[in-house]
């Protein structure tokens, strides 16, 4: 142990070989950093590097091969001893890669000391998973799930000494049903390889299992649900991969695997959807009626097209320009500090989400839930082209900022976006803004509210309830008789619930703050990635 001028302790500091030269290598316990720098003065700091120990993937003793030994200093050494450190390298656009660096020295004891010290530090990272349950949907996206897992993810898990039980699903709901049967306590996490639909399935299995084990009735819309502490990791291999993109910042299997390995944790709000005291679904990303429901329903018939089906069905649905009549009621989310029109987005370590977490803990301590129903409800009736309720920004490669750029991952609220009846041209302007930086809510026909609960009843089901003999009933699926060209559809739309269709014209939605956790850390603030590794900051540290 070495003492530095500032009183800081270094666990190890040695001169070790890296390539052809000797480098000063330090392991700083207090700061949790492994650093190596070239002591030669001329090219100041040119090749200095450091890695937080929390981002070291593995340490291995290394046998240097003949080629390595035949060059430079190796020749003079009887038998050099070496070890390799595998670590996370942050690249552009939130992409992470696994890199390695091999150090050598003549002294076997010193080499072992380093391996031992680094392994001890890895052991201390208690948030890392050791045993994972993996579900692969072989038919998601471009049908590459199995290949992606085997070639890109499994080798990294094995490098990090993570054991896995792998299930390749044979039918829809295979993963969900399986989660009710397995010995869940054996695992530190569940990994799903697939798209948003597959993630939704795994989430239903886990949350459902938790409630069942705790004797909570999911059919009761007011039941305080039990939080799910087993984290889910998403390896993106689907068509949209919105949950992965919105929680990591990129859809990239290797990046996601590395977030799982280092044991990241991102809490997530979950909405429950009920109809008349019957549980229907949970949702974490988009709950969409009208446009996004119709796109999904049409695209299901075109699965053979792969991810392209959304472009085809999107275009077709846009042309059909159907709007739907109904009544919306919601309770505004007064507890959260943010608003949907904020300029700042939810980022790693978001203080708005932390504040909600604090409130949640306080609420639990008091052991009672407020009489939420007594709080204010707002009611809006109208004709809508789209009703979107989003728990997170819903960013994905098609829409890099998402449907609600300022929505938060874990603040206990959802953003309710209402797109009222407007011209095709205006609706196109709105859709185009999903894909660029312009304000999506700056239209007279678009309203946005931050809500904690929400209800919707389509006019059709309201009418049916009030008069059973309503002739409209006979005409489901046909266009408005009085106005053949008006695009008002007397059939209901479908809900797009995280990429799964849900046929229900009257639903009740409630946001459950931080009901589950992912192996992720939210989207990191941009540009800092490179800055954190800048040479000047390395200089200050050493």
Q: Which residues are catalytic?
A: 196
Distances (CA, A) of 115 to 24, 59, 375: 16, 7, 59
The interface partner of residue 171, options being ligand 1PW, ligand ADP, Ca ion, none and the CB cut-off 5 to 8 Å by kind, is ligand ADP
In the complex, least distance from residue 194 CB atom to ligand 1PW, rounded to whole angstroms: 8
Cα distance between the two ends of the chain: 15
Interface with ligand 1PW (CB under 6 A), residue from 118, 206, 242, 417: 242
Pick from 26, 53, 137, 246 the residue near ligand ADP by CB under 6 A. 137
| Interaction between residue 233 and ligand ADP (CB under 6 A) | no
Distance between CA atoms of 133 and 147, rounded to whole angstroms? 17
Binding flag, residue 202, ligand 1PW (CB under 6 A): no
How many residues line the site for Ca ion (CB under 5 A)?
4
Residue 391, binding choice from ligand 1PW, ligand ADP, Ca ion, none, Cβ under 5 to 8 Å by partner class: Ca ion
Between 394 and 448, CB nearer to ligand 1PW: 394
Among candidate residues 264, 229, 230, the one with its CA nearest the CA of residue 247: 264
Among 59, 273, 286, 515, binds ligand 1PW (CB under 6 A): 286
The residues near 174 (Cβ < 8 Å, ≥ 6 apart) are 135, 167
At closest approach, how far in Å is the CB of 22 from ligand 1PW? 51
Kindly state whether residue 197 participates in binding ligand ADP, applying the rule CB under 6 A.
yes
Q: Does 423 bind ligand 1PW (CB under 6 A)?
A: no
Based on the shown chain and the rule CB under 6 A, indicate whether residue 505 belongs to the binding site for ligand 1PW: no
Which one of Ca ion, ligand 1PW, ligand ADP, none is in contact with 296 (Cβ closer than 5 to 8 A by kind)? ligand 1PW
| Token pair for 276 | 């008349």
Residue of the chain from 499, 511, 513, 522 that contacts ligand 1PW (CB under 6 A): 499
CA distance 496 to 529: 35
Output the 3-class SS for 193-248. EECHHHHHHHHHHHHHHHHHHCCCCCCCCCCCCCCCCCEEEEEECCCCCHHHHHHH
**Alpha carbons 258 and 256: distance in angstroms, whole number:** 5
Site for Ca ion in 378-417 (CB under 5 A): 391, 408, 411
**99 contact choice in ligand 1PW, ligand ADP, Ca ion, none (CB below 5 to 8 Å, kind-dependent):** none
DSSP string spanning 418-456?
A: EEES--HHHHHHHHHTTTSSS-TT-STTEEEEEEEEEEE
Q: CB of 123: closest distance to Ca ion in angstroms? A: 35
Span from 74-82, 236-244, 253-261, 407-415 in contact with ligand 1PW (CB under 6 A): 236-244
Among 67, 171, 437, 474, binds ligand ADP (CB under 6 A): 171
Q: Are the CB atoms for 198 and 134 separated by under 8 Å?
A: no
Q: Which stretch binds ligand 1PW (CB under 6 A): 91-99, 163-171, 450-458, 495-503?
A: 495-503
- Minimum Å gap between C-beta 338 and Ca ion is 9
Q: Which of 353, 364, 361 is nearest to 522 (CA)?
A: 353
226 φ, ψ (degrees, to nearest 5): -85, 130
Site stretch for ligand 1PW (CB under 6 A), options 97-105, 396-404, 453-461, 523-531: 396-404
- Longest CA–CA span in the chain (Å) reads 97
Which CB, 391 or 440, lies closer to Ca ion?
391
CA atoms in the 13 A half-sphere facing the CB of 257? 25
Which of the ranges 104-112, 169-177, 189-197, 474-482 carries the binding residues for ligand 1PW, by CB under 6 A?
189-197
C-alpha angle with apex 84: 83 to 86, nearest 5 degrees? 155
CA distance 284 to 390: 7
Please list the alpha-helical segments (H only) found in 328-466.
351-366, 424-432, 459-466
Q: Is 431 in the site for ligand 1PW (CB under 6 A)?
A: yes
**Is position 170 an interface residue for ligand ADP (rule: CB under 6 A)?**
yes
Query: Among ligand 1PW, ligand ADP, Ca ion, none, what binds residue 172 when CB lies within 5 to 8 Å by partner kind?
Result: ligand ADP
512 counts as binding Ca ion under rule CB under 5 A:
no
* Residue selected from 238, 267, 338, 340 as contacting ligand 1PW according to rule CB under 6 A: 238
- Asked whether the beta carbons of 491 and 473 are under 8 A apart, the reply is no
Q: Which is nearer to ligand 1PW, 421 or 433 (CB)?
A: 433
Q: How far apart are CA 418 and CA 381, in angstroms?
A: 11
Minimum Å distance from CB 195 to ligand 1PW? 3
Distances (CA, A) of 314 to 112, 194, 309, 426, 483: 60, 22, 8, 16, 24
What's the min distance (Å) between Cβ of 371 and Ca ion?
22
Point out which residues bind ligand 1PW (CB under 6 A): 195-197, 238-242, 285-286, 292, 295-296, 310, 314, 394, 396, 398-399, 403, 431-432, 434-435, 496, 498-499
């Amino acid at each position: 142990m070495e003492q530095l001028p500032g009183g800081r302790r270094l666990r190890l500091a040695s001169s070790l070989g890296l390539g052809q030269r000797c480098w000063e290598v330090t392991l700083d316990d207090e700061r949790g950093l492994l650093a190596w720098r070239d002591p030669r003065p001329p090219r100041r700091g040119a090749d200095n590097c450091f890695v937080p120990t929390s981002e070291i993937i593995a340490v291995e003793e290394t046998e240097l091969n003949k080629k390595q030994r035949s060059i430079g200093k190796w020749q003079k050494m009887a038998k050099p001893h070496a070890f390799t450190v595998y670590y996370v390298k942050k690249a552009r656009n939130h992409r992470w890669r696994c890199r390695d660096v091999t150090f050598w020295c003549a002294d076997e004891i010193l080499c072992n000391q380093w391996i031992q010290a680094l392994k001890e530090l890895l052991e201390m990272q208690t948030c890392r998973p050791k045993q994972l349950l993996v579900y692969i949907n072989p038919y998601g996206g471009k049908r590459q799930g199995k290949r992606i897992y085997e070639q890109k993810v499994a080798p990294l898990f094995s490098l990090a000494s993570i054991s896995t039980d792998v299930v390749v699903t044979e039918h829809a709901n295979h993963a969900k049903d399986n989660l009710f049967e397995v010995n869940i306590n054996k695992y530190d996490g569940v990994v799903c390889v697939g798209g948003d639909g597959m993630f939704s399935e795994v989430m239903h299995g886990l949350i459902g299992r938790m409630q069942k084990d705790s004797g909570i009735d999911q059919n009761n819309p007011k039941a305080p649900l039990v939080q799910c502490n087993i984290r889910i990791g998403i390896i993106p291999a689907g068509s949209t991969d919105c949950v992965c993109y919105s929680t990591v910042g990129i859809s990239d299997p290797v990046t996601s695997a590395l977030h799982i390995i280092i044991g990241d944790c991102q809490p997530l709000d979950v909405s429950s959807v009920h109809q008349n005291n019957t549980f229907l679904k949970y949702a974490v990303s988009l709950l969409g009626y009208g446009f996004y429901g119709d796109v999904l329903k049409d695209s299901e018939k075109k699965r053979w097209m792969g991810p392209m089906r959304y472009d085809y069905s999107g275009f077709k649905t846009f042309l059909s320009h159907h709007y739907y009549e109904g009544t919306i009621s919601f309770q505004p989310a007064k507890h959260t500090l943010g608003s949907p029109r904020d300029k700042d987005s939810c980022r790693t370590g978001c203080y708005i989400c932390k504040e909600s977490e604090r409130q949640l803990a306080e609420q639990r301590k008091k052991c009672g839930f407020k009489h939420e129903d007594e709080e204010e409800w707002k009611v809006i009736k109208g004709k809508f082209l789209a009703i979107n309720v989003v728990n997170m920004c819903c960013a994905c490669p098609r829409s890099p900022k998402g449907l609600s750029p300022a929505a938060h991952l874990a603040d206990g609220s959802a953003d309710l976006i209402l797109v009222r009846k407007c011209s095709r041209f205006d609706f196109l302007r709105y859709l185009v803004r999903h894909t660029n930086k312009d304000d999506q809510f700056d239209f007279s026909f678009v309203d946005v509210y931050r809500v904690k609960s929400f209800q919707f009843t389509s006019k059709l089901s309201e009418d049916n309830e009030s008069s059973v003999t309503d002739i409209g009933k006979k005409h489901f699926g046909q266009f408005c008789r009085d106005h053949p060209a008006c695009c008002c559809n007397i059939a209901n739309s479908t809900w797009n619930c995280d990429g799964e269709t849900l046929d229900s014209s009257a639903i009740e939605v409630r946001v459950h703050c931080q009901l589950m956790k992912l192996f992720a850390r939210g989207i990191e603030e941009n540009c800092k990635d490179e800055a954190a590794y800048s040479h000047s900051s390395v200089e200050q540290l050493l």
